[in-house]
């Protein structure tokens, strides 16, 4: 089983890739670009899969992260692939994913003062 820190890093990395994929393009360009859509959907699936494997302790310690939303999106994209709407994928990529990226980056680089004292 993968460790929580590795899973959270997987989420952060997938968010960063999405931001690169959509950086510099408009909503209309995204909707016209099947390859960009497929790439973003795949990364959202990775985010949701990793989120589903994060421990209950991490989930409860970080309620600001929309864990269940990410898992639900993954399940929808995998099982209802025929009903995925590009405009909604764009909205997810430009709102939810950016928020998640910020949240998990903060988790990874959060300096815990108690940890610093343990090194003394």
Catalytic residue among 2, 20, 62, 79: 79
CA distance 30 to 37: 7
Residues of the domain holding 59: 4-110
From 59, 74, 91, 99, active-site residue: 74
Please check whether residue 44 lies inside any domain of the structure.
Answer: yes
Residue 13 falls within a domain, yes or no? Answer: yes
The percent of residues above 70 in pLDDT, for the chain, comes to: 90
Sign of CA dihedral 41, 54, 23, 72: positive
Q: How many domains, in total, are found in the chain?
A: 1
pLDDT digits (tens, 9 = 90+) for 95-106: 999 999 999 998
17 carries an active-site annotation: no
In the structure, what pLDDT confidence band is assigned to residue 1 with cuts at 50, 70 and 90?
A: low
Residue 41 located in a structural domain: yes
The pLDDT of residue 108 is 81
Residue 101 is among the residues annotated as catalytic for this protein:
no
Q: Residues 100-116: what's their mean pLDDT?
A: 73
Question: Residue 51 pLDDT > 90, yes or no?
Answer: yes
- The answer to whether residue 116 is domain-embedded is no
């Amino acid at each position: 089983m993968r460790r929580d820190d590795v899973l959270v890093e997987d989420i952060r990395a997938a968010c960063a890739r999405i931001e690169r994929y959509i950086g510099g393009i408009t909503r209309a360009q995204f909707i016209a670009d099947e390859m960009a859509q497929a790439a973003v959907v795949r990364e959202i699936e990775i985010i949701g899969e990793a989120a589903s494997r994060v421990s209950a302790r991490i989930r409860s310690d970080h309620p600001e992260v929309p864990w269940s939303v990410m898992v639900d999106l993954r399940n929808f994209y995998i099982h209802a692939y025929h009903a995925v709407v590009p405009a909604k994928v764009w909205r997810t990529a430009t709102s939810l994913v950016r928020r998640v990226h910020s949240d998990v980056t903060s988790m990874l680089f959060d300096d815990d003062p108690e940890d610093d004292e343990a090194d003394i």
